[in-house]
Amino acid sequence: MKEEKQSGMTFIVKTITNLIVGFMLVFGAYVVLYGHITPGGGFPGGVMIALTYILITLAYGRKVVESIVSGVTGSIMDDIGAIAIIILGFIGLYIGGTFLFNFLPKGTPFNLFSGGYIILYNLAIMLKVGMSLYIVFLALAILQRVVTTRDETKEAGK
Interface with other proteins, residue 147, by CB under 8 A = yes
Q: How many chain residues are in contact with other proteins, going by CB under 8 A?
A: 51
Cβ proximity to other proteins, 8 vs 41, nearer residue? 41
Interface with other proteins, residue 89, by CB under 8 A = yes
- Compute the half-sphere exposure of residue 77: CA atoms within 13 Å on the CB side of its CA: 19
What single letter denotes the amino acid at residue 68?
I
Interface with other proteins, residue 135, by CB under 8 A = yes
Nearest alpha-carbon partner for 135 in 86, 75, 82, 83: 75
- Length of the chain, in residues: 158
H helix or E strand, kind and range, residue 124: helix 118-157
Q: Which stretch binds other proteins (CB under 8 A): 1-9, 10-18, 60-68, 143-151?
A: 143-151
Query: Which of 17, 31, 56, 77: binder of other proteins (CB under 8 A)?
Result: 31
Q: Dmax of the chain from CA atoms? A: 72
Q: Which stretch binds other proteins (CB under 8 A): 1-9, 14-22, 61-69, 126-134?
A: 126-134
Query: Residue 103 and residue 52: Cα distance in Å, rounded?
Result: 33
CA distances from 85 to 89, 92, 126 (A): 6, 11, 11
Q: Can you give the binding site for other proteins, defined by CB under 8 A?
A: 31, 35-41, 43-44, 47-48, 50-51, 54, 58, 78, 82, 85, 89, 99-100, 102, 106-110, 114-116, 118, 121-122, 125, 128-129, 132-133, 135-137, 139-141, 143-144, 146-148, 150
